[in-house]
Chain A
Amino acid sequence: MKKMINIEVQNFSYKGSASAGLHDISLHIKDGETVLLCGASGCGKTTVLRLINGLIPHYYRGELNGRITVNGIDIPSAELYDLASIVGTVFQNPRSQFFSVDTDGEITFGTENIGIDPDEILKRKSEVVNELELKPLLGKSLFELSGGEKQKIACAGVSALMPDVMLLDEPSSNLDWKAIEELKKVIKHWKAKGKTIIISEHRLWYLKNLIDRVIYMKDGRIEKEWNKAGFNSLTSDELCALGLRPTEIEEKYIEEFGRGIFSTENIHPCSTLSSESRITLKDMFFTYKPQKYFIKKKKLNAADSADYTLAIPELEIPRGKVIGLIGKNGAGKSTFLRCLCGLEKDCTLRLTSDEETVSGRKILKKCYMVMQDVNHQLFTDSVEAEVMLSMDNEDKDQAAKIIAELGLAGYENTHPMALSGGQKQRVAIASALAANAEILLFDEPTSGLDHAHMTSVADLLTELAKKGRTIIVSTHDPELISLCCDHILCLEKGRLKYMRKC
């Protein structure tokens, strides 16, 4: 069979950065092959993809020694716009890769750029819409879509260009299980059409049966290679030893929790927390569409709760434990977190802890949320200032203690934005500790993380819980749940489905 992609690169380094380059990469991919690139973050997976789609050397500058050809075309001397109909790329972040505001425009964007005839564009569009089942998404604003839906539109936009090679760069990072299933269908469809597919990914379980070959990278080199059977016979321990995410745990947990989340049967909330110290949430009612009197909004109450977005009359949360918050997309997890940390001022929540009951604005003092995009909550120009900003009375010693506790010693004067993703997360946690928040909320803290980083988040959460903080972590990551959660709280349609011990 003919070789689709040939990479022979002795050396590549990004301009102005010593690390994160590639060395001695020799990779040949056959026409129609599906290849998985795996390895810890920073191992060079994304860089390899950029060699294939031409972003290196045309967009990201650097020192490149070697040859790359795709379908006989020499990438370094080709123009990016000529490659658009040969190599298609789906990127990691669904939020930042779309150019249009509406779904229709996004699907046709690429085809319009390369000057395809309008009739042909419409033909391709309707084809793609049928194949990827996008009918319900047409005519919508991309800003209304969930991450999974955005990712599907991104796939459609690439598909409409009809390239022979499809690259996917950690496409599942921000997706839940259901959306990953959908993504899997898309990849399957491309495979059936004979496309050459290369996927860089941390979450491996959903690709197990799709791939033909697995390339394992480490420090910019190709370390290992398996065929499908060889890869699938690796045990969880072997995968963990390589720093990869075991496939079985995810599958097992999806099986287990998935049933809980997606089944229609009612599991009754159990309350076996009798002996433990607890925090009580009462009257957690919230709706995005409040009934309005002339000027004042109607106060939310239990009697009207049938239509509310979130309605949890009473919930007891064990203190000093890690609680995993699960549920389908749109089940109200984020609303739950927002209400719990006092961001929705119409929420009628009363929070009782240590005989003290707070509501309204005061909840903001009790709880602190580490957001999914942690960049939004870093404000100052140094880690130390960031921590001090949270304190009512600035206390340098206390700040230093917290910083050291989170393993950030030595970074006191570094700009938070210059840190790695994991370190940023720790800075956000540090500022929560400095504010003396009792309950820490985490929104998808492990999305897009590799095995090692995910484990360290799990350890950190356990550690924080041991020190008496109550942790609620909203997640789609079964491995994280299995590693650190003591309890599981499942929501469905804004109602409590169950709360139980792990």
Chain B
Amino acid sequence: MKEKKLKPKDFITVGIFTALLFVVEFACGMLGFIHPYVVASYVVLIPIVGSIPMMLFYTKVEKFGMITLMSVLVAIIMFATGMGWLGAPLIIISGLIADLIAKKGNYKSFKSTVLSHGIFCLWICANYFPVIVTAKSYRKNLIDGGYSAEYCDSLFRAINSKTIFVLLILCVIFGMIGAFVGKAVVRKHFEKAGIV
């Protein structure tokens, strides 16, 4: 008996793991306040730490739609917490692709899970969108205010419309590395405890 439609239990599972993922996001966000440059390292921190709940989530995914649904939730929450709506298309499209990849592996194959998680992690870049979009005028403002162009460049060196591609790629790579880390943790604890 295999049911394709999502049930309330699946919705609740998605909700819980989205909440856990955002706890990771917020915790890393706090670190971002220490220094703006830390913000650039989200692409490393969030995929790796976030992979722990995410890999447990992947063990619970059996039907198409759960990963996509999660990306929709992520987009909505990013919007509601003031991160703007520009990231939404990126988040939802990467969620959908991640879901399709995982589906190809029947939600069992670890290989597809790794790739799927890598793609899913693209949502993290949506954190940068507001900064990138405002960067140009912000920079102009700073230069108008008497700052040297070099200073402004250094401020936006890590995050700008050019590096965003690097950041996107880093997200995927660390997402894939994270999948291994998360899987190891799931094995060490949840499989050993007989939960999954």
Contacts and interface: CB of A to CB of B under 8 A. Distances in A.
| Touch test A–B (CB under 8 Å) | yes
B9 A415 contact: no
Contacts of B9: 59
Contacts of A417: 189, 193, 195
Interface in A374-433: 381, 415-418
Interface in B170-196: 188-189, 192-195
Contacts, number: 15
A191 B180 CA distance: 56
Contacts of B194: 415, 418
Interface residues of A, number: 6
A416 B195 CA distance: 12
Nearest to B192: A415
Contacts of A415: 189, 192-194
A418 to B, nearest CB: 4
A417 B188 CA distance: 12
A415 B186 CA distance: 12
Contacts of B189: 381, 415, 417
A418 B195 CA distance: 8
Interface string A472-495: 000000000000000000000000
A308 to B, nearest CB: 32
Interface in A427-469: none
Interface in A171-225: none
B42 to A, nearest CB: 27
A417 B186 CA distance: 13
A180 to B, nearest CB: 30
Contacts of A416: 193
B102 to A, nearest CB: 23
Interface of A: 59, 381, 415-418
Among all A-B residue pairs, the 9 with the closest Cβ atoms: A417-B193, A415-B193, A415-B192, A418-B193, A418-B194, A381-B188, A381-B189, A381-B192, A415-B189
15 contacts: A59-B9, A381-B188, A381-B189, A381-B192, A415-B189, A415-B192, A415-B193, A415-B194, A416-B193, A417-B189, A417-B193, A417-B195, A418-B192, A418-B193, A418-B194
Given A415-B193, A416-B193, A417-B195, 7 more contacts: A59-B9, A381-B188, A381-B189, A381-B192, A417-B193, A418-B193, A418-B194
